[in-house]
């Protein structure tokens, strides 16, 4: 039998979701960092796919061990800084590895009590970053996921297309709720590592403020306002991408119980849900390359 003519396409491999909790104990006031690190490497790896020759492969177990060792040697201050260290290590350390993608989820903790060693998880939002690094360029995308927001009024939805399957009633007053996943691409990397924290804090607050301050006729309109606010307030950010599920709240019919419901009691639906996604980008933004992959 003659084999089908095929070739190896784009590929990468790595160690996903290495969870690291790092403590600094150099005083009675401890510091905690809690991250989930996912690595994907690519390069001259055709042989391992085509013949099983692993001479070019850095084991994923080695990648995991590098994460733990770097957490000890360098600490984990900002997720972007740690991701950059790892990405540069993998590309510089192995001639067969030409590109590294390092993604980090960072889980927040806040200090509680008076002991200096007690903490409570914050959230549910999660700080995120993705770093792409090779000989040609370095791209950093920061972000946040599961940032849950709700406006109890100042949202309308009407004037939309209608066909024979449309049952949705127009409304001039509704709850608007979402769980924001947002990412923003840096055109300029902060010279000071503390700049990553400032950028994240500013962007998160911009997202919240724009959501709260926009009188919304559509979730699409709100999305654009949120992305624009991030770019307006951070010259070093050139592009913002947002994914906003519409967390529907439906008024409950209380008439069977002899009760009125004047926008006071709602059923929070789990699924299905509308999903609104979009990008806000500067006209002069540099090419993204592999930044969003």
- Is 248 a residue of the active site? yes
Catalytic position from the list 132, 133, 204, 248? 248
Determine contact, residues 35/106, Cβ cutoff 8 Å.
Answer: yes
Catalytic position from the list 60, 96, 202, 279? 60
> Which residues are bridge partners to 37 per DSSP?
18, 104
Determine contact, residues 193/81, Cβ cutoff 8 Å.
Answer: yes
Determine contact, residues 229/210, Cβ cutoff 8 Å.
Answer: yes
**Cα four-point dihedral sign 203, 206, 211, 216:** negative
Catalytic position from the list 15, 99, 132, 249? 15
Determine contact, residues 171/158, Cβ cutoff 8 Å.
Answer: yes
> What is each CA distance from 58 to 64, 123, 140, 292, in whole angstroms?
11, 35, 23, 24
- Is 172 a residue of the active site? no
Q: Which residue, chain included where needed, has tokens 């999305």?
A: 223
- In this structure, the strands spanning 97-107 and 237-246 are unpaired
Q: How far apart are CA 57 and CA 90, in angstroms?
A: 11
Q: Tell me the two tokens of residue 188.
A: 């300029």
- Is 247 a residue of the active site? no
Determine contact, residues 126/145, Cβ cutoff 8 Å.
Answer: yes
Determine contact, residues 159/221, Cβ cutoff 8 Å.
Answer: no
Q: Annotated catalytic sites, by residue?
A: 15, 60, 248
């Amino acid at each position: 039998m003659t084999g089908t003519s095929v070739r190896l396409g784009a590929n990468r491999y790595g160690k996903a979701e290495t969870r690291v909790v790092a403590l600094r104990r150099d005083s009675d006031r401890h510091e905690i960092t809690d991250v989930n690190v996912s690595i994907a490497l690519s390069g001259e790896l055709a042989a391992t796919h085509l013949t099983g020759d692993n001479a070019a492969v850095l084991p994923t177990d080695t990648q995991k061990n590098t994460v733990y060792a770097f957490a000890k040697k360098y600490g984990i201050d900002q997720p972007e800084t740690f991701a950059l260290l790892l990405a540069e290590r993998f590309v510089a350390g192995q001639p067969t590895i030409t590109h590294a993608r390092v993604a980090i989820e960072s889980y927040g903790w806040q200090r509680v009590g008076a002991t200096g060693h007690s903490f409570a998880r914050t959230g549910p939002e999660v700080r995120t970053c993705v770093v792409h690094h090779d000989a040609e360029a370095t791209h950093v995308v920061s972000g946040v996921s599961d940032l849950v927001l709700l406006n109890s009024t100042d949202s309308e939805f009407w004037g939309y297309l209608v066909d024979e399957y449309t049952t949705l009633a127009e409304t001039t007053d509704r709850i608007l709720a979402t769980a924001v996943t947002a990412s923003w691409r840096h055109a300029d990397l902060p010279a000071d590592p503390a700049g990553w924290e400032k950028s994240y804090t500013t962007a998160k607050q911009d997202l919240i403020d724009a959501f709260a301050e926009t009188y919304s006729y559509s979730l699409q309109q709100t999305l654009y306002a949120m992305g624009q606010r991030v770019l307006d307030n951070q010259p070093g950010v050139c592009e913002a991408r947002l994914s906003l599920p519409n967390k529907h709240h439906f008024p409950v019919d209380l008439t069977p119980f002899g009760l009125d419901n004047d926008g006071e009691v709602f059923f929070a639906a789990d699924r299905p849900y509308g999903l609104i996604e979009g990008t806000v980008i500067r006209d002069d933004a540099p090419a993204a390359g592999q930044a969003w992959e």
